[in-house]
Amino acid sequence: MGKAVDDKNSQVDYLKQRLNLFVDVLDSIDPEQADVEDIDRLISMIDDIETKCEQFKKSEE
């Protein structure tokens, strides 16, 4: 994504952007047409956000 996310405000902004992207992807999925790959993609996005939260948390310590 480019430059490092060091300060708390930048970290929050980064997480907001990632969550908004997740919501956009979720909204774009047709429940009647969703398949396992779509669900796997959503899970992967959540895992990535969780990993980033843990990294930000550790950087605060």
State pTM to two decimals: 0.80
pLDDT in tens, 2-30: 566 778 899 999 999 999 999 999 999 99
Q: CB count, 10 Å around CB of 10?
A: 13
Identify the band that residue 59 occupies on the pLDDT scale cut at 50, 70 and 90.
confident
Measured at the CA of 11, the angle between CA 6 and CA 16, to 5 degrees, comes to: 160
Instruction: For residue 49, give every residue at least 6 positions away whose Cβ sits within 8 Å of its Cβ, in sequence order, or none.
Output: 15, 18, 19, 22
By the 8 A CB rule, do 21 and 1 touch? no
